[in-house]
Amino acid sequence: MQSQTGLKTGIRARRFSIGLAFFMALLTIGPSAQAADPLVDTDWITLHLNDNGIRILDLQSVSSYRAGHIPGAVHTRYADWRTTDSKGTPGMLPPKEYLERLIGGLGIDNQTYVVLVPPGYHVGDVAMATRVYWTFKVLGHDKISILNGGMADYIHSPLARLDRNTPMPERKSFTARINREDTPDSGDILKLGKNKTVLVDSRSPGEYDGKIGSNANQRTGTIPGAINLPYDNLVKSGTGKFLDRTRLELIFKEKKIPATEEQVYFCHTGHRASLSWFVSHELLGNQQAKMYDGSMAEWARNPELPMVTGTSTGRQ
């Protein structure tokens, strides 16, 4: 019969083996099996570059991509992620079937962890990534991150490697699961505005108060009651990096934008607003934040929808 001491020793040994096996299993879990953080940095990229289940999407121009990109990164044109709808509104979310083909052709299925890499030299670059990020989220794909600082930050890393090869990904099957509530239209915005839902205009102050027009054939100004928070206030000046959380929270507090209430972000075509939505929804955790895809390109064309200019804009 085994002694009591020997029995305890055996139990401890088995527990240690089980614990070690569990720890090693955690180390081998690829990022595609884990919840994705909205932002990753250059160190993360260099560490996970060769992990299975990752697809890096490069949003640089074709010429910049060919000059050098992160090894294995697949190029995608920003223009391919937007379309002009049947009403003539530019920059809209393309049809579901089209996006499924586009995404599948990039070697992405519903289990793929996608990392978006913008050029990263200014705030407009960042908005390309946040717009594509928003598209994936609308399609029901949560395994996605953005490289904070983009290629501009990556190339300054001592561990950075650049490649000029053009990988040809194997086509995969991607199935979209669109939630209608994530894509409010002008009718929804009109109702939400009447219900005192917070509306945030991500354009410049000049566009907001009607001094600058985005299109000569459209009315100027903003949606009644909207708060003006220019999207470039949320990124470090002259870079493609977001401000830290503390600073972002302070900016939202100064603008009297609630941390948790339902709110809708808009701009001219849903480009700049996607960055503001990303900050609110993804970085500050407001799951009730939405983006109005049609934005002022749609709203201002309809004379039946209300607009205000100058000092009548309301909250600022």
For the chain, what are the domain ranges?
A: 1-31, 35-154, 184-313
The CATH code belonging to domain 184-313 is 3.40.250.10
The predicted pLDDT at position 8 comes to 44
| pLDDT tens profile 204-230 | 999 999 998 866 568 999 999 999 999
* Residue 263 binned pLDDT confidence (cut-offs 50, 70, 90): very high
User: Rounded to an integer, what is the distance from CA 162 to the centroid of its chain?
Assistant: 24
Q: Is the dihedral of CA 58, 62, 65, 66 positive or negative?
A: positive
> Which residues, 6 or more positions from 211, have their beta carbon under 8 angstroms from its beta carbon?
220, 310
Q: Is the pLDDT of residue 258 over 60?
A: yes
Output the six-digit token pair for 243: 């401000």
Q: Compute CA distances 290 → 83, 192, 234, 235, 277, whole Å.
A: 20, 11, 17, 20, 7
Q: Which CATH architecture has domain 35-154?
A: 3-Layer(aba) Sandwich (3.40)
Per-residue confidence (pLDDT) for residue 25, from 0 to 100 = 39
Write out pLDDT tens, residues 52-93.
Answer: 999 999 999 999 999 999 999 999 999 999 999 999 999 999
Q: Do the domains 184-313 and 35-154 match in fold?
A: yes
Under 8 Å between Cβ of 305 and 295 = no
What does the alpha-carbon distance between residue 152 and residue 130 come to, in Å, rounded to a whole number? 16
How far apart, in Å, are the Cα atoms of 119 and each of 124, 235, 238?
9, 14, 13
Average pLDDT, the chain: 89
The reported pTM is: 0.88
With cut-offs at 50, 70 and 90, classify the pLDDT of residue 18: very low
d(Cα 298, Cα 147) in Å, to the nearest integer? Answer: 31
Please provide residue 309's backbone torsions phi and psi, each rounded to the nearest 5 degrees: -135, 165
How many Cβ atoms sit within 10 Å of the Cβ of residue 180?
Answer: 9
- What mean pLDDT do residues 81-108 have? 97
What residues contact 145, with CB distance under 8 A and at least 6 apart? 36, 37, 38, 39, 40, 113, 114, 115, 116
